[in-house]
């Protein structure tokens, strides 16, 4: 249930449209294009500090689930990216799509899975 | 001659003794009433600051993961007990400015409380969910209350506060319960459990008189209220379905109830998922007004004279502070103190307000009357600011 890839289809038309409009970004992500260095620094601060408020500064969990490389191992990247973008209904996880592109969310997943620098 | 020499040396010795005594007497002695702690969350360090000259006295490293860190002060306001996210509990001497003792008491912690008599430190834990009690002197474990509900499921504990009578109250996030622990015999806690108080209590507060325990609910609109003077009446639901039918906004930072402003007859509280501060009549426990604000409020903190409240906001509006005049319920000032304002703390008598601007690496100091920025201190990703007058207040 948690990582049901189908959940993407349950969350409504608007996010799907948003996702479509972001397809170009998705392609970039698929080709491994990382955000520009200045944006990377912003994103890393956001992840460490703002995600860290619930998930812990070391991502070992809090109100939110742990996000360490060990905790994320084997989970589908797209489902994780969609959780960041669209939140998780019925939990305290909010959608971050107003602030992040699909490519940026994908890059964040990559960074978390590797372990943040 | 010989006699004389001995006399001289005796005099020398006594002079020496006098010198040392004088040295002791002039060694820096001070009270702690104008001291405080600033949490530096990313580096796991704290600063000891003083509010009279507005300076940093020391930086103390080695406190672990301090995201969402909070602290309580000993009854003599000399020691700070700092609760870290990683389950670390650290006792800091504010005068010698050093760590006295540190224990890893759980895997994941959210905050703590100190008993009315000052002898017990309680820690609220997420993993494993429950409350642990420690001897305030030695930090030895005294009692352990796992937060396991009737179904045998473990819950995260939130909203832990002390109460008169050496009691504590806390809430179970997943189970939706409020428990009161009577700790008059520390090794034998007596528990009173209130079930089905509402969905997902996320934080709680106690009124300054120690009478009303209020838990905010994340899973539904409303609050759970326990009147300690009529505890047998049980938990009552208040403000049920406020804002029913209105679309809630996504919540990027949980509101904190610790700073809930009680202004005598009214409570000003942050609305969850709304750009509003709610005004609640404390006699009827009913909503009597809403104040539209700049973003989703996180802390709503009353100036000690209760005439104004200062409000900070969740991401992405966390570069702003608004000040509400309580009488007219109007916003009298909007400030932009810098990126990511995390916390605000008034000096004991309320002439200044200190706030932490995390992404600016600064603590800003404001005149609470004119709203002028009168100073700042550098700090590494500052979050919580705690002054020692908390030592003598129930629930803090």
Mean pLDDT for chain B? 90
d(CA B260, CA B299): 7
Contact B126 A61 (CB under 8 A): yes
Output the pLDDT for position B243.
59
- pLDDT at residue B51 tops 50: yes
pLDDT digits (tens, 9 = 90+) for B147-180: 999 999 999 999 999 999 999 999 999 999 999 9
The answer to whether the CB of B80 falls within 8 A of the CB of B73 is yes
Return the pLDDT at B11. Answer: 52
ipTM of the complex: 0.70
Distance CA B46, CA B114 (A): 20
Residues of B in contact with A94 (CB under 8 A): 250-252
Output the CA angle B75-B180-B37, nearest 5 degrees. 30
Residue with the two structure tokens 């080709």: A31
pLDDT given at position A19: 43
Helix (H) or strand (E) holding B226: strand B223-227
Q: Which residue has the higher pLDDT, A75 or B23?
A: A75
For B265, residues 6+ apart whose C-beta sits below 8 A from its C-beta are B281, B282, B283
Please report residues of B whose CB lies closer than 8 A to that of A92. Answer: 200, 202, 218, 251, 254
CA distance B374 to chain A (A): 27
B contacts of A53 (beta carbons < 8 Å): 67-68, 253
Compute the average pLDDT of residues A69-83.
94
- The fold of A5-114 is Cytochrome Bc1 Complex; Chain D, domain 2 (1.10.760)
Using one digit for the tens of pLDDT, what is the confidence trace for B285-304? 999 999 999 999 999 999 99
Say which range, A2-16, A72-86, B303-317, has the weakest mean pLDDT.
Answer: A2-16
Q: Which of B156, B200, B316 sits opposite A99 (nearest CB)?
A: B316
Q: What is the pLDDT at residue B220?
A: 83
| B200, B201, B202, B204 alpha-carbon torsion, rounded to 10° | 180
- The band of B27, judged by pLDDT with boundaries at 50, 70 and 90, is low
Q: Does A94 touch chain B (CB under 8 A)?
A: yes
Contacts of B254 in chain A (CB under 8 A): 54, 63, 92
Lowest mean pLDDT among A13-17, B62-66, B379-383: A13-17
pLDDT above 70: residue A24: no
Query: Looking at per-residue confidence, does B134 or B260 come out higher?
Result: B134
Residue A34 pLDDT more than 90? no
Of B67, B86, B202, the CB nearest to A53: B67
Measured CA to CA, the distance from residue B61 to residue B328 in angstroms comes to 45
Q: What pLDDT is stored for residue B245 in this prediction?
A: 56
Please give the pLDDT value at position B110.
Answer: 86
Greater confidence, A89 or B353?
B353
> How far A106 CA lies from chain B's nearest CA (Å)?
19
Token pair belonging to A34: 């990382």
Grade residue A23 by pLDDT with cuts at 50, 70 and 90. very low
Q: Compute the nearest-CA separation of A95 from chain B (Å).
A: 7
CATH superfamily of B107-253: YVTN repeat-like/Quinoprotein amine dehydrogenase (2.130.10.10)
Q: What pLDDT shows up at residue B259?
A: 63
Domain layout of chain A by residue ranges: 5-114
Closest by CA position to A68, among listed A107, A22, A115:
A115
Residue A2 has pLDDT above 50, yes or no: no
Position B127 scores a pLDDT of 85
Q: What is the pLDDT of residue B283?
A: 85
Which pLDDT belongs to residue B249? 81
pLDDT confidence band for A21 (50 / 70 / 90): very low
Half-sphere exposure of B124 (CA within 13 A, CB side): 31
């Amino acid at each position: 249930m948690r990582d049901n890839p189908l959940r993407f289809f349950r969350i409504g038309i608007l996010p799907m449209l948003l996702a479509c409009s972001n397809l170009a970004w998705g392609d970039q992500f698929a080709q491994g294009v990382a955000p520009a260095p200045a944006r990377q620094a912003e994103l890393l601060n956001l992840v460490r500090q703002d995600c860290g408020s619930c998930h812990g500064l070391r991502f070992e969990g809090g109100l939110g689930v742990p996000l360490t490389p060990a905790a994320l191992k084997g989970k589908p990247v797209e489902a994780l990216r969609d959780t960041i973008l669209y939140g998780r209904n019925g939990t305290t996880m909010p959608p971050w799509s107003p602030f992040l592109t699909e490519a940026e969310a994908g890059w964040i997943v990559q960074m978390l899975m590797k372990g943040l620098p | 001659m010989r006699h004389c020499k001995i006399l001289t040396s005796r005099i020398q010795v006594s002079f020496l003794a006098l010198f040392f005594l004088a040295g002791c007497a002039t060694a820096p002695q001070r009270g702690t009433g104008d001291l405080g702690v600033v949490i530096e969350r990313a580096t796991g360090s704290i600063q000891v600051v003083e509010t009279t000259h507005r300076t940093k006295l020391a930086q103390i490293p080695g406190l672990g993961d301090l995201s969402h860190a909070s602290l309580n002060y000993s009854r003599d306001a000399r020691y700070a007990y700092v609760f870290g996210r990683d389950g670390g509990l650290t006792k800091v001497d504010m005068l010698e400015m050093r760590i006295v003792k540190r224990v890893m008491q759980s895997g994941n912690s959210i905050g703590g409380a100190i008993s009315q008599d000052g002898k017990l430190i309680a820690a609220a834990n997420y993993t494993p969910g429950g409350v642990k009690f420690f001897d305030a002197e030695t930090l030895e474990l005294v009692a352990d209350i796992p937060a396991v509900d009737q179904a045998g499921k473990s819950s995260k504990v939130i909203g832990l506060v002390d109460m008169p009578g050496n009691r504590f109250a806390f809430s179970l996030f997943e189970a939706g319960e409020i428990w009161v622990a009577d700790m008059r015999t520390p090794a034998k806690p007596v528990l009173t459990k209130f079930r089905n108080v509402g969905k997902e209590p996320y934080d709680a507060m106690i009124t300054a008189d120690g009478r009303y325990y209020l838990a905010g609910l994340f899973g539904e609109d409303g609050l759970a209220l326990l009147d300690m003077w009529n505890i047998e009446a049980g938990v009552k639901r208040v403000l049920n379905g406020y804002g029913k039918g209105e679309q809630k906004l996504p919540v990027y930072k949980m509101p904190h109830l610790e700073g809930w402003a009680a202004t005598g007859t009214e409570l000003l509280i942050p609305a969850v998922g709304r750009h509003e501060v709610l005004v609640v009549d404390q006699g009827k426990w009913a909503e009597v007004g809403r104040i539209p604000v700049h973003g989703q409020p996180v802390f709503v903190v009353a100036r000690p004279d209760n005439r104004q409240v200062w409000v900070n906001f969740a991401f992405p509006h966390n570069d702003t502070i608004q000040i509400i005049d309580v009488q007219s319920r109007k916003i009298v000032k909007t400030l932009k103190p810098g990126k990511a304002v995390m916390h605000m703390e008034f000096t004991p008598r309320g002439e200044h307000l200190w706030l932490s601007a995390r992404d600016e690496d600064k603590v800003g100091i404001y005149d609470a009357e004119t709203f002028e920025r009168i100073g700042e201190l550098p700090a590494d990703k500052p979050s919580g600011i705690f002054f020692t007058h908390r030592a003598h207040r129930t629930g803090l």
